[in-house]
Amino acid sequence: MNSPLVSIIIPTHNDRDVVCDAIDSSLNQTYNNIEILVIDDGSTDNTEHLLKDAYGNRIRYIKQKNMGLSSARNNGIRSSVGKFIQFLDADDLIDKNKLACQLKQLRSISGKALAYCDYIRSAIGDATVNYARMNPVITSENPLDDFIMKWETEFSIPPHCFLFDAAFFKEYGISFDENLPTHEDWECWMNIFALNPQVVFINMPLADYRVRTNSMCANQLKMRNGYLMAIDKQLRKHSSNSEVVDKLAARKKEIRFLYRDTGPIMRFLRNYPPVFKKLYCEMVPWRVQRMLD
């Protein structure tokens, strides 16, 4: 496995103002054996003509009707032929040395393996960046525990930090759930880490997570509902493992409380003067609030 092919999958939907940056960061890799698949998820902003004029046959442009981010990523997986898969959202960037650094570590590993790296955060346009970002380092002896108990509160890894062996998707049939409104990446990583793969961390910021004002994470109600749906799906998958079920159930309660401002009680109280919300928060014990939210 001297120079394995890496498939870089870039989903896009009306991102003509940023997608070329993602493509350019892929073309600028110091590792050359790559294919770049741009999956256009029903764009209506003339993305197709822009990319075909700018890149020609340097990329594989695939157009589909608008079916969502997960569908575009899955389409990219099916269409790819690489030994390794690099996901890259249209508004993000990867360092020119990312693939070379991660492949150097993965080449010596036999069996199921993946690599991930540190990242930076930057803003696009007038977006505000929270520089107190979460730790990207898996600290538990059992990585699945970190993904269950710490994701999004203490620990988070953007998709383009990873470099995956394509076998996770091609041989084990793992994919992104197209019915989840959010947290489809977390649910996918849960399925991968449940296989107990070998994991390599590159302690270098080789990915740039760029924040836009219309980012999905700004919709807290959607984030809450998507997270809870993803946890429910994992509860069903691990129904025979009581230890994992207990951890997921505990995490579900925590998420309901952490997103309590978008929960049913708070949404109901928005119909009344602010004093009612204040009284609820002050008079109802927080343990009871956790159960209600």
Alpha-carbon distance of 146 to 218, in angstroms, equals 24
For 246, counting Cβ atoms within 10 Å of its Cβ (0-12 exposed, 13-18 middle, 19+ buried), the class is: exposed
Indicate the residue type of 158: P
**Could you confirm whether domain 6-217 is CATH 3.90.550.10?**
yes
Alpha-carbon distance of 36 to 6, in angstroms, equals 9
**Does pTM top 0.95 for this prediction?**
no
Where do the DSSP E strands lie in 96-162? 113-123
* 10-residue averages of pLDDT along the chain (293 residues): 91 97 98 98 97 97 98 98 98 98 93 95 74 80 94 93 98 98 97 96 95 68 93 98 97 86 53 54 53 55
Q: How many helices (H) and strands (E) does the chain have?
A: 12, 8
> Would you state the pLDDT for residue 262?
54
Count Cα atoms within 13 angstroms, Cβ side, for 224.
17
Q: So where are the chain's domains?
A: 6-217, 221-292
For CA atoms 21, 26, 27, 30, give the dihedral sign.
positive
Count Cα atoms within 13 angstroms, Cβ side, for 27.
14
